[in-house]
Chain A
Amino acid sequence: MSNKLEGFVRDNKREFEVKVPSDALWSKIEAELDKKKPVKKTFGMYQWMSIAAMLLLTVGVYFGYQYQKTNAEILVADINPGMGKKEVRFTSLIEEKRDSLQILAATDPALYKQFITDMGKLDNDYQELKRQLQTSPNKSLVGKAMMKNLEIQLQMISQQLYIINQVNQYKKEENSI
Chain B
Amino acid sequence: METVYIDKHADLVNECRNGSRKAQFEIYKLYATAMYNVALRIVNDDAEAEDVLQEAFLDAFNRIADFRQETTFGLWLKQIVINRSINYLRKRKMEMVSVDGVEIAEELETDFEETHLKVEAIKSAMAELPDGYRVVLSLYLFEGYDHEEIAHILKITENTSRTQYMRAKRKLNSLLVTKGVAR
Contacts and interface: CB of A to CB of B under 8 A. Distances in A.
A5 B112 contact: yes
A103 B13 CA distance: 98
A25 B32 contact: yes
Give chain B's interface residue range (CB within 8 Å of chain A).
20 to 34
B119 interface: yes
A23 to B, nearest CB: 10
Contacts, number: 75
B50 A22 contact: yes
B50 A16 contact: no
Contact of A21 (B19, B21, B36, B122): B36
B10 interface: no
Main secondary structure of the interface of A (DSSP, over half): helix
Interface residues of A, number: 27
A36 B62 contact: yes
A21 B32 contact: yes
A4 B21 CA distance: 44
Contacts of A32: 54, 58
A20 B36 contact: yes
A15 B53 CA distance: 20
Contacts of A5: 110, 112, 117, 141, 169, 172
Given A5-B141, A21-B32, A12 B119 contact: yes
